[in-house]
A and B are shown apart, each in its own frame.
Chain A
Amino acid sequence: QVQLLESGPGLVKPSETLSLTCTVSGDSISSGHDFWGWIRQPPGKGLEWIGSIYYSGSTHYSLSLESRVTIDLDTPRNQFSLRLTSVTAADTAVYYCARRAIIVGSSGHVIDIWGRGTLVTVSS
């Protein structure tokens, strides 16, 4: 059973860098089949896609965040990470990591597995 678990500081100061890690179990991030990515949800609001990374290291980011966001792989630890620089209060959200996979009957990669999410608050 594939499981994803987010970890990282729950509180970040304005203008600093938010850093989160997603630990994957039950699947290998270097298997070459899946994308790994991040989604966030501000309190009381909808889902916002942040970006994804493929096993090769190729990345795709939200146009509104791409100047501040980096997603990396750590294949020996079977983890991937999110870095978001110059944060403000608007970056306060629950951050989810997720797997995108080709599942039976799909013609493309679908988000099929989500982590439980971790709340990150930006405040001094």
Chain B
Amino acid sequence: EIMMTQSPATLSVSPGERATLSCRASQSVNTRLAWYQQKPGQAPRLLIYETSTRATGIPARFSGSGSGSGTEFTLTISSLQSEDFAVYYCQQYHIWPLPFGGGTKVEIK
């Protein structure tokens, strides 16, 4: 089973600053990596899929990238807005089963 590890667990950022979140897979998932945003009391929302493609309606300040190895991925929020403070999860959809990472909470500094 592929293990997904996210870091850091918590990221403290001031509004307007850049946030960089990491996700590592225990083996290659090719480009099949998605990111989800979850706010308190809400269901998760798809942000990024196929490593770097933004979902419909997602602002351009959100971007995803991968190292090319299929194991290291990054979500970048270029200039944090108040509505971006939330928990972010990565998930691979390359090989069954399909675990999520443990999440990164982005909080106001």
Interface residues of A (CB under 8 A from B): 39, 46-49, 51-52, 60-63, 96, 100, 103, 105-112, 114-117
Interface secondary structure of B, over-half rule: loop
Rounded to whole angstroms, the CA-CA distance of A9 and B29 in the bound complex is 37
Beyond the given A49-B99, A49-B100, A112-B55, could you list 16 further A-B residue pairs with CB under 8 A, ordered by the A residue number?
A: A46-B100, A47-B36, A47-B44, A48-B99, A49-B98, A61-B97, A63-B1, A96-B43, A103-B55, A107-B30, A107-B50, A109-B93, A110-B50, A110-B93, A111-B91, A112-B49
Measured between beta carbons, the chain B residues less than 8 angstroms from A108 are 32, 93-94
Interface 1/0 per residue, B32-59 and A, CB below 8 Å? 1010101000011110011001010000
Measured between beta carbons, the chain A residues less than 8 angstroms from B43 are 96, 114-117
Interface residues of B (CB under 8 A from A): 1, 30-32, 34, 36, 38, 43-46, 49-50, 53, 55, 87, 89, 91, 93-94, 96-103
Whose C-beta in chain B lies nearest to the C-beta of A105?
A: B53
Can you list 10 residue pairs at the A/B interface with Cβ under 8 Å? Answer: A62-B97, A96-B44, A103-B49, A108-B93, A111-B34, A111-B36, A111-B46, A112-B55, A114-B43, A115-B43
Closest CB in chain B relative to A23 CB, distance in Å? 15
